[in-house]
Structures are given as structure tokens and as C-alpha cells.
Amino acid sequence: MPAKTDYLEALNANQRLAVEHGVGHPDPKPLLVIAGAGSGKTNTLAHRVAHLIVNGADPRRMLLLTFSRRAAAEMARRVERIAGKVLGLGSGAVTDALTWSGTFHGIGARLLREHAHLIGLDPAFTIHDREDSADLMNLVRHELKFSETTTRFPTKGTCLAIYSRAVNAQADLDEVLKTVFPWCAMWSAELRTLFGAYVAAKQAQNVLDYDDLLLYWAGMMGEPTIAAQVSALFDHILVDEYQDTNRLQSAILLALRPDGRGMTVVGDDAQSIYSFRAATVRNILDFPGAFTPPAEIVTLDRNYRSTQPILAAANAVIGEATERFTKNLWSERVSEAKPLLVTVKDEADQVGYIAKSVLEARELGTPLKQQAVLFRTASHSGPLEIELTRRNIPFVKFGGLKFLDAAHIKDVLAVLRWAENPKDRVAGFRVLQLMPGIGPGTAGRVLDAIGNSTDPAWALGEVPPPLKAGQHWPDLVTMVGRLASRETAWPLELGYVRQWYEPLLEHGYEDASIRVADIVQLEQIAGGYPSRNRFLTELTLDPPDATSDQPGVPLRDEDYLILSTIHSAKGQEWKSVHVLNVVDGCIPSDLGTGTTHELEEERRLLYVAMTRAKDELHLLVPQRFYVTQQTRNGDRHLYAQRTRFIPRVMTTLFEDILWPPVAPIRADVRPAQPAVVDMAARMRGMW
Ligand code: ATP
Ligand code: MG
């Protein structure tokens, strides 16, 4: 009996074409779905996965790559809803079977661990997040005596950015320096030496950084026998948000499927916003021609998300783009309400407007969870967070500070990482320096004394105890011994870490009890992972947000407003969306106005922000805008202009309002007296 496929009825003709493409065909062509925002790409991909499963494909043999772990979980839920029902499977059966769904980095980590023995990698490797990587870069930089203070050598963060860029773009160092970091070009020789030493240090310590997860995966695919083994794991490879993949990622995909068989990629060139991480829109444009015969292309032109007036405004903004493949969208969602262009005096009024508007919408029946505030940079939401807290409006922030970024949580994770991989010097440094009286010098000497010992507890016991550490030292040795011997089952061993760490926290912090409570919360999260290693890997790759709806992190309130960077809002939608600081200097950012290429990316960023809205869109234009500039005086207020991406002719597509409704300061008429004396900046300027 043929499977019931009622779910196809809800799709439009082209969506259905994409969903059914090649099903039942012995040798289907690869498929590209390229279409604008809200046209149902992700929805179509979920239907395709479900349809393949309904028609006999094995979900355990599907590789499903998404932009975040949250997006992967959402995709699995949708597939479950469609296919699980048709096949009459128990709840969660499909989700559980989609084991190869996640981000490129997450899947890379798993494949590398499983195949480590074939590529000479120790499977106990630990993964460094960006901060750890920067710390290691710094250690190596100091060892090489490339000190920034005396010679203005690039900072550890810049060094890491250059390194990462070269790796992800698969580009030569000099090329990267010339095109992206010209002010560092004079250091080419030193940087090459530094990166060589950095790679050697990672290898000696058995750690991989984020970029290595892709680099080693790509390297593995260059070995024909291993590549064949890895490729043979999958019948289907499906990728969402393909416009934001980088060279290395597309090389991996092509190596997995040189003929493109079973491959589906989905994306929108008009939403390509990650070129600062070396993503290249060329990937999606070149995809069809990468195969013989070329990939089938399906385009979608109906937007199901936004009302017609919101879409008209978004279309107008992106319509000015110099290069674009996807065409304008149309929507049947009629509405009288144009998107709002809200002019406010300054950031204080901006925040006041949002609090008012969000509460009004809630009164009218839109829960906070269906409303979002988007911004260019995580730090821009500071004043809003303060105001929301003051007014008791609960919120969750995506793309900002993560739960795991808190120093005390990182400390505990460093203890676990060190126990897992005693060679991990960055972890060791962090742990040792938690103790009173131990600075970098002593920590370095202790780590040298431990050397390459595989039993750190024993080796620690042999080291003469640093005097100032007192009782904390034998306690450390005991705790590390317990963790290394795995005498206590995971995750109970975390209790030992807390017992050891609590007195140090009390010694070092006023708010020790809050920090201890966070660690208890971490222990609860840990309970959701089968092993220490899996816990460390998954948390490093996709850390939960500070307060988040990710599994394992309890939320304080049921309903909460979403705060997110535009980058992190990709693929999502809300009934009502506010965008902060839609002014020149912010969108486009001062940093993004250097080249046409950068400017175009900023335009796409605004397009992504606007197209998140279903029913209501508020673009906020403060006339005075606080920026941190790298000038001698530090922070200052600027008189801002509405973003150049919404020129006067386009304003008819918006409802232009002033809030509060009084005469604003006109940008071209500066007041005789500066409105604000920034005393703090003046004080700092004295030094
Ligand atoms: P983005 O480019 O922002 O990632 P997208 O193209 O992936 O957007 P989706 O998120 O898949 O778009 O869909 C946008 C909205 O339209 C969702 O709410 C989805 O449920 C709805 N939608 C998609 N296709 C249809 C359809 N055929 N009928 C009704 N609603 C649809
Ligand atoms: Mg999508």
C-alpha cells in the first residue's frame, strides 16, 4: 500500500517539486533550492527529509547540516511531525534515528573521534573554544617573544582571526594579509612562524580548535580509503543555509559526494552574511556547475512569512543590491499596516519605545516569545537589558554572553578538560592559577614538571607544593586523582570539583553563593550527557545561551522576549520584530563601509533583519547614537543619520513616526552647546 502523503498537499508546486525530486529515481541529480527569505526553504527541506523517509530512506544514513544545533533540533521535530505520523512510529523514533544531524563542526568532531585511529589522532583530544584558542596563541606568542607592548605586534585575538581566516578560506597567508588585514602585512614572516608554532603546540597538547574540526575532516577526505569509508555512511546529504558555508565546508561536501548524488542544498544568496568568517556566496552560485550533469535548480517566489507591506519594504532594500541571483518575492498576506520607521531622540528613548511597544503587543495577545529585538552587535543591547530588568520584562538573549562564558563555569570545565587530556596546557594553566599564590611562572614550571606524563595526579604529587597554595594544593592533587582514575561515575565526579572549588570561590568573590548555584546548574546539565567527553565536546561546540530554551537549562519564566544579534536570528521568525539602531555607523557598521563588497554584506544584513518579521516591523532610528570608537577619547555620542539603505524615496513604504511625539533634533542642525559632556571619556583621555 503506498504511503499516505497528505502532507504534500500543503506545499506549492515548486516546493513539491523540490520535495519529490529524484524520489524513486535510480540516479537522481543533485538539487539546489535557491530562494528568498520566508519562501519555505527550511520547511521544504524538512518535508523532503520526511518524504525520503516515508519512501524508504534510512534516517540513520542521512547527513543533515544546519547552521546551529537549535536549528537541527527544530528540523528533526518537524520531520518527526510529518513522517512519524504517516509511518505510525512511536514518538521520538524519527528524531532519535536522525543521529547525523547538526552543525559542520559538531559532525566533524564526531567523525574525527570515530576515525582518529586512521589518521594518527589521539581520540581523547579536547576542543578549544575561541577564548582557549586565543590563550594558546598568546602562550606561543610569548614563548616566541613577539610581545605586543614593545613592538605593536598584532594582539592574540587578531593573530587568531588571521589564522582562522587563512584556514577557512583555504587561502595563502600573504593573500589574507593583503586583502583583509593590510595593517598586519609587515608581520608576515613572524606570523608564519607563530602559526607554525601554534599548530605544533596544539598537536603536542592533543587539542583541536574549531577550525581544525573542519581542516582535519577535509584532510581525512583527501585520503581515498578513509574518504570512501566516511562517504559510505550516508545515502543523503542535506544542507540548509548553504549561502553561509566557506570554502573548506564546500570542499568537504564535494569530497563526500564528488558526483553530487543524494545531495540537496538550500539557501539564499541575498542572505549571505558570514563573509567575515570566510563564507563565500560563490559556493551556492557555483553549486549547479560543480557536477555533471549539473544540479537541478528549484526557485521559490512566494513568501509565506511576512505581510505584503513588510515584504515590499524588504524587497526595496535588497532591490538596490548590486549582485543578486534570487528574485523578489510576493506575499498574499494582506495588511494595512506598513512597517514603522521610528525616529527617537537617543538610545534612552529607543529603549523606552521598545518596552512600551512590547508590552502593548502582549496586551493585544502577542506573547513575548513571539516578539524579538534584533541588533547589529551583541553589546548594543546593554541599555535595553537594563531597562527590561528594571521593568520586570523577562528576556532571553541569543548570540551574546553564553552561560559557559562566565569565568567560574569555564574554570570548572577547565578542570574536567585537564583531567580528560592532561596535555592540554591551556586548561592546566587555568586550573593552577585558580589557587592563591600561583601565577603564570609557577603554573608554567608545574606544567613543565608534569611534562608528558599520562598520570597527572601522580605527576602533580611529585612536584614540590608551591608554598602559597597551602592546603589547596593537596586538595587539588586528590581531586585531579579522583577525576583521572574515573573512580566515580560521570556526572557525580562534578561534585568533587565543586567541593574543591567552593572554598576558592568564597576566598575570591563576594557573590560566591550565586556562582556555586551556577555550578550546581552545570551539574544538572551534565546529567543529560552520557560521558565527560561528550559533555565537553558538545558544550564547547554549541554552548547554551545565558538563559535559554535549550534542553537542560531551566528557564526562570515561561514567556520571555527574544533578544538576538541579526546574525544569530538567521532562519527564524517572530510576529513582531524591532531592529535597534538602524543608522549609518551601525547598519552599515563603521567597520563595514570600506569596500563595496563589505557594504553589500551590510545591506543583506538589514534584509535578513527585516525579513524575520511576520506581522509587525519596527525599525528604530535614534538621532543620537553612542559608539565606541578607537579614538584617543574612547566612547562618544554621534549625531546619527538613518541608514543609507533606506533613502528618502523608499520612506513611502514605511510609516514614519516620531517618538515621543515631539520635535526631534535635526541631524543637520547641531546644537550650539554639546548636549552631553562625557566626563568618563575625558578622565580616561588623561592617561
Ligand atoms: P529563511 O530564508 O528566513 O530561512 P525559509 O525560506 O527557510 O526562510 P521557512 O522558515 O521554511 O522559510 O518558512 C517561512 C514560513 O512560511 C514558515 O512559517 C513556514 O511554516 C511557512 N510556510 C512555508 N511554506 C508554506 C506553505 N506551502 N504553506 C503555508 N505556509 C508555509
Ligand atoms: Mg530557512
Across 498-516, average pLDDT: 86
678 pLDDT above the threshold of 80 = no
Task: Report the pLDDT value the prediction gives residue 176, as an integer from 0 to 100.
Answer: 94
Say which range, 6-20, 296-310, 606-620, 650-664, has the weakest mean pLDDT.
650-664
CB atoms within 10 A of CB 444: 17
Same-domain status, 530 and 595: no
Is residue 325 situated within a structural domain? no
Closest atom of ligand 1 relative to the 612 alpha carbon: 3
Closest atom of ligand 1 relative to the 43 alpha carbon: 11
Task: Report the pLDDT value the prediction gives residue 64, as an integer from 0 to 100.
Answer: 97
Cα(452) to centroid(ligand 2), Å: 47
Is residue 190 situated within a structural domain? yes
Mutate to test the pocket of ligand 1, among 19, 240, 304, 315 (most ligand atoms within 8 A of CB): 304
Binding-site residues, ligand 1, Cβ < 6 A: 10-12, 15, 37-43, 268, 271, 304-305, 571, 573, 611
Measure the CA dihedral 117/119/123/126, to 10°: 180
Ligand with smallest separation from the Cα of 41: 1
Domain that holds residue 636: 335-401+553-659
Task: Report the pLDDT value the prediction gives residue 402, as an integer from 0 to 100.
Answer: 61
What pLDDT band is residue 550 in, cutting at 50, 70 and 90? very low
Is residue 458 situated within a structural domain? yes
Cα(554) to centroid(ligand 1), Å: 29
Is residue 493 situated within a structural domain? yes
Q: What is the pLDDT of residues 232-257, one digit of tens each?
A: 999 999 999 999 999 999 999 999 99
460 pLDDT above the threshold of 50 = yes
**Which residue has 543609507 as its cell numbers?**
644
Please tell me the total number of residues recorded for the chain in this structure: 687
What is the tally of structural domains in the chain? 4
Could you list which residues have their CB under 5 Å from ion ligand 2? 41-42, 571
Helix (H, G, I), strand (E, B) or coil at 302: strand
Same-domain status, 566 and 534: no
38 marked as part of a ligand binding site:
yes
483 pLDDT above the threshold of 80 = yes
Task: Report the pLDDT value the prediction gives residue 632, as an integer from 0 to 100.
Answer: 47
Same-domain status, 566 and 650: yes
User: What is the domain-level CATH number for residue 475?
Assistant: 1.10.486.10
Final residue before a domain boundary, out of 477, 508, 541: 541
Cα(39) to centroid(ligand 1), Å: 5
Nearest CA to ligand 1 atom 2: 37
Nearest CA to ligand 1 atom 4: 571
Looking at per-residue pLDDT, the higher value among 542 and 633 belongs to 542
Q: What's the one-letter identity of residue 538?
A: E
Is residue 314 situated within a structural domain? no
50 marked as part of a ligand binding site:
no
Is residue 382 situated within a structural domain? yes
User: What is the domain-level CATH number for residue 79?
Assistant: 3.40.50.300
Looking at per-residue pLDDT, the higher value among 540 and 545 belongs to 540
Is residue 676 situated within a structural domain? no
451 marked as part of a ligand binding site:
no
Same-domain status, 451 and 519: yes
Cα(241) to centroid(ligand 1), Å: 13
Q: What is the pLDDT of residues 556-610, one digit of tens each?
A: 558 999 999 999 999 999 999 999 999 998 898 876 667 888 899 999 999 999 9
Cell numbers linked to 336: 494595512
Same-domain status, 82 and 220: yes
Same-domain status, 188 and 237: no
Cell numbers linked to 214: 573542519
The predicted complex's ipTM stands at 0.99
Final residue before a domain boundary, out of 517, 541, 565: 541
461 marked as part of a ligand binding site:
no
Same-domain status, 230 and 101: yes
Cα(322) to centroid(ligand 2), Å: 23
What pLDDT band is residue 400 in, cutting at 50, 70 and 90? low
Same-domain status, 355 and 250: no
Is residue 241 situated within a structural domain? yes
Ligand with smallest separation from the Cα of 305: 1
Same-domain status, 87 and 236: yes
What pLDDT band is residue 518 in, cutting at 50, 70 and 90? confident
Same-domain status, 522 and 416: yes
Closest atom of ligand 1 relative to the 241 alpha carbon: 4
Same-domain status, 226 and 143: no
Cell numbers linked to 650: 523608499
Same-domain status, 86 and 222: yes
Strand pairing report for 624-628 and 635-639: antiparallel
**Which among 168, 163, 172, 165 is positioned nearest to 141, based on CA atoms?**
163
42 marked as part of a ligand binding site:
yes
pTM over 0.90: no
Q: What is the pLDDT of residues 68-100, one digit of tens each?
A: 888 999 999 999 999 988 888 878 899 999 999
